[in-house]
Amino acid sequence: MNISENKIPEKNSTQAIEIVSVTAKGFGVGYINGFTVFVDGGLPGDELKIHMLKAKSRYGYGKIIEILRPSPHRIKSPCTIFDRCGGCQWQNCNYKAQLGFKKQIVIDALERIGQVKNPPVEDVLGMLKPVNYRNKAVFPVVPADNTAGFSIGMFSARSHRIVEVENCNIQHPAHVGVLKVVKKYMRRNKISPYNEITHKGLMRFVMIRTSLATKEIMVVLTINGQSLPLESRLAEDLTEIGVTTVVISQHTAKNNIVLGDHFRVISGSGFIRERIGHVTYQISAPSFFQINPVQTKALYEIAVTQANLKGKVVIDAHVGAGGVSLYAAKQAKEIIGVDIVDAAISDGQENARLNGINNMRFICGAAEEVIPSIINDISPQVVFLDPPRKGCEPGLIETLIRTQVERIVYISCDPATFARDVKMLVVGGYNLVTVQPVDMFPHTGKVEVSALLLRNTI
């Protein structure tokens, strides 16, 4: 759609706008004379007075000055720092409405990006109690103009400003207590925060993982060096508040990746164990695992039902520490799990042993490289896809199309890249049978899906 220049609202102007939809990043979407404007914090039904922050040729961004008429979905946020913290976007929104928004986000992605007409998207499966659900949190440590000289917390939305976290409605309650201990240790020992511009300073990130089933807590300290001063004393202080293992991640590269390539355990086992349904999972620092144990069980039940595994040979292209394949193993004839992270493969092998699963084997390597080399010999009837946010590599999709795998169950946390990959699969001869969204991330714009695609035999 072409917008004439005289219809584009000027930067720094004040405008009135009605919000009609939302994006996965939490923006409200409205139109001014046909010109698309994204408004931070806007909800469908809001009538707003906004300040135009930016106006490009096809879209712009606005900031709320005043709510002229609130959305019927708008509620008072239970979080006192909601408007400053970037951890979630919809604490100010009725939860039932959030589920409706997420369903529409998935539909829109499939129609717009995937070119799927009338996509078969089910209602989003929500949580009964959508609070304190996150079993993993990553807190950056940055320089600050305060008495301590550093801040630890969450990045403010779309910025590198840190908001200190004293309490959080979506994090496991143990996370804030860990931060208090780490802050005290840094102040007492004058530990410098990492500066991403100068690449100096020691402490980069604090990552915390918790287990709902076992109550175990892992703390991973990412540092720009080899060791921390008095690190055994820090481990003791963390142990006193319930932390069961402390790991140092050595990360001296000049990038903003959370974890380095080298890990050293300074107390405990170096892992935690979580239980999803009938399966126990051992999880080490670099291993991928879903962040919401309650909804993970629901997700796995859906995916296993879609896969219809009885007596079939299966490839899991992004197996992580075992994930859905361990949950499904007893129904399948054989499962081959592939993952590029060596530590995840080690965890997966140990998890298979822990659960007495003998029909799984694991291969370390990139899915798009490993699977083309083994797929003809294995001849799987089912493939699980659960890629990172960037989606599948084209080479993997092309291999599945070429070998005409009968059934694909695609688990995704990113509707856009999911829709892009679905388009390739549909063009290549697959039917998108059903898409079941699961609310793995309440109060945010993110949504998980499990989708079934079947090879078109006509």
Torsion of CA 368, 372, 375, 381, to 10 degrees: 50
Q: Which residues neighbour 365 within 8 Å (Cβ) at sequence distance 6 or greater?
A: 338, 340
DSSP string, 182-216: HHHHHHHHTPPBPBTTTTB-SEEEEEEEE-TTT--
> Which of 165, 95, 99 minimizes the C-alpha distance to 130?
95
Six token digits for residue 213: 């089933």
Catalytic entry in 88, 93, 392, 413 = 413
Backbone φ and ψ for 98, nearest 5 degrees, come out as -55, -45
Rounded distance between C-alpha atoms, residue 148 and residue 150, angstroms: 6
**Other Cβ atoms closer than 10 A to 255:** 9
Helices (H), 277-414: 293-307, 323-328, 342-354, 367-378, 394-403
Beta-strand runs (E) in 242-328: 245-250, 262-267, 271-276, 279-284, 313-316
- Is residue 141 within 8 A of residue 203, CB to CB? The reply is yes
Classify 225 in phi/psi space as left (phi over 0), alpha (psi -120 to 50) or beta.
left
Rounded distance between C-alpha atoms, residue 41 and residue 61, angstroms: 11
> Which of 364, 365, 384 minimizes the C-alpha distance to 305?
384
Active site residue 168: no
What is the set of active-site residues? Answer: 413
